[in-house]
């Protein structure tokens, strides 16, 4: 969750955050903010790692969000976009005719919270989370296409399968990750000792990354 932290959060943002957490819990998602994860590393690196490891993000702000905090939120939205993570934007302020969107977000779907319309806001957030969950099947399908191509892109397939697992713990995507691991293991075995293999180190690092990800997966319910 990308939002203002600290004691001076506007009431509308507090309401939005509470509802978003409630909806995420209903969908069995764990909601976290950067402040809730304690590490000794650089704070910026921590944020990037959290975004990299999440299924999707929700950005929450209003017309009362301080400019410096808003800059941080939009930076995090940009990082999420680069890493291929879906981001739901949730905003409050102005009136129904005013636009909350900066130029780069004109075509982005927003959820606007209007005080006194909490029920509608809950429905909108719930629908958005459901759509994100449904998107896991799309990631799995495209990952399968990348894996089964005549010249397979194993790295792309891995990222797509991982995204499907992080969002919905898709069983087919889990199997896809195992298939990527098997293909990489075979490639490493066959090309071991080949001094002309310029991709050897990359392939080995990718195999290690896949193996570590598989090792971190909890048993599927």
* Confidence band for 145, pLDDT divided at 50, 70 and 90: very high
Residues 87-134: tens digit of each pLDDT: 999 999 866 555 556 667 766 788 999 989 999 999 999 999 999 999
| Segments making up each domain of the chain, as ranges | 11-116, 136-216
Residues 6+ positions from 121 with CB-CB distance below 8 Å: 16, 19, 111, 113, 114
Residues 157-190: tens digit of each pLDDT: 999 999 999 999 989 999 999 999 998 888 777 7
Residues 26-62: tens digit of each pLDDT: 999 999 998 888 876 788 888 999 999 999 999 999 9
Out of 139-143, 144-148, 200-204, pick the least confident.
Answer: 200-204
62 - beta bridge partners?
Answer: 92
23 - beta bridge partners?
Answer: none
Residues 6+ positions from 97 with CB-CB distance below 8 Å: none
Q: How many CB atoms lie within 10 A of CB 156?
A: 16
Measure the CA–CA gap between 186 and 171, rounded to whole angstroms: 23
Q: What is the DSSP string of 196-221?
A: T-TTHHHHHHHHHHHHHHHHHPPPP-
pLDDT at 21: 96
Measure the CA–CA gap between 72 and 120, rounded to whole angstroms: 28
Helix, coil or strand: residue 57: strand
CATH of 11-116, one of 3.40.50, 1.25.40, 3.40.630, 3.90.1070: 3.40.50
Torsion of CA 57, 62, 65, 67, to 10 degrees: 90
pLDDT at 9: 93
Sign of CA dihedral 60, 63, 65, 69: positive
pTM: 0.85
pLDDT at 188: 76
The radius of gyration of the chain's CA atoms, rounded to the nearest angstrom, is 20
Q: How many CB atoms lie within 10 A of CB 3?
A: 24
| Tally of CA atoms within 13 A in the half-sphere of 48 that contains its CB | 8
* Confidence band for 73, pLDDT divided at 50, 70 and 90: very high
């Amino acid at each position: 969750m990308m939002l203002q932290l600290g004691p001076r959060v506007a009431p509308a943002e507090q309401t939005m955050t509470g509802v978003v957490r409630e909806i995420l819990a209903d969908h069995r998602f764990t909601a976290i903010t950067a402040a809730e994860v304690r590490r000794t590393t650089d704070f910026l690196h921590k944020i990037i790692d959290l975004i990299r490891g999440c299924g999707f993000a929700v950005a929450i702000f209003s017309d009362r969000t301080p400019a410096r905090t808003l800059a941080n939120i939009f930076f995090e939205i940009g990082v999420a976009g680069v890493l291929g993570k879906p981001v739901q934007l949730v905003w409050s302020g102005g009136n129904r005719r005013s636009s909350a969107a900066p130029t780069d977000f004109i075509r982005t779907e927003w959820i606007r919270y209007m005080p006194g319309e909490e029920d509608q806001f809950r429905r909108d957030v719930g629908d958005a989370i459901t759509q994100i969950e449904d998107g896991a099947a799309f990631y799995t399908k495209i990952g399968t296409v990348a894996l089964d191509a005549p010249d397979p892109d194993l790295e792309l397939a891995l990222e797509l399968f991982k995204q499907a697992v992080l969002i919905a713990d898709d069983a087919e995507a889990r199997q896809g990750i195992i298939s990527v691991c098997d293909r990489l293991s075979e490639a490493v075995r066959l090309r071991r000792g080949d001094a002309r293999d310029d991709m050897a180190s990359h392939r080995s690092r990718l195999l290690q990354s896949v193996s570590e990800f598989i090792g971190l997966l909890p048993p599927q319910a």
